[in-house]
A = this chain, B = another copy of it.
Amino acid sequence: MGSLTEENYIKSVYALSQATGEVYVSELAKKLDVKLPSVNSMMKRMATKKLVAYAPYKGIKLTEKGKKEALAIIRKHRLAELFLVKVMGLGWEEVHDIAEQLEHVNSSRFYERIDELLNNPKFDPHGEPIPDSNGKIHTKKRTSLIDLAEGLTATITAVTEDEKSFLDHLNAKGLQIGDVVIIKKRELFDGSITLQHKSKKEILLTHQVAERIWVEV
Q: Does A98 reach chain B (CB closer than 8 Å)?
A: yes
Q: Does A105 reach chain B (CB closer than 8 Å)?
A: yes
Which residue of B89, B101, B109 contacts A106 across the interface (Cβ within 8 Å)?
B101
Main SS at interface, chain A: helix
Interface string of A79-113 (1 = CB under 8 A from B): 00000100111100010011001100111011001
Q: Does A117 reach chain B (CB closer than 8 Å)?
A: yes
Cβ-defined contact, A88 with B113, below 8 A: yes
- Copies of this chain held together in the complex: 2
> Inside 8 A of A84's CB, which chain B residues have their CB?
110
A47 to B129, CA, bound (A): 47
Cβ-defined contact, A109 with B87, below 8 A: no
Which residue of B87, B89, B98, B113 contacts A107 across the interface (Cβ within 8 Å)?
B98
Interface string of A113-152 (1 = CB under 8 A from B): 1100100000000000000000000000000000000000
Could you jot down 10 A-B contacts, CB within 8 Å? Answer: A84-B110, A88-B110, A89-B117, A90-B113, A94-B109, A97-B107, A98-B105, A98-B109, A101-B106, A102-B105
A residues at B contact (CB < 8 Å) = 84, 87-90, 94, 97-98, 101-102, 105-107, 109-110, 113-114, 117
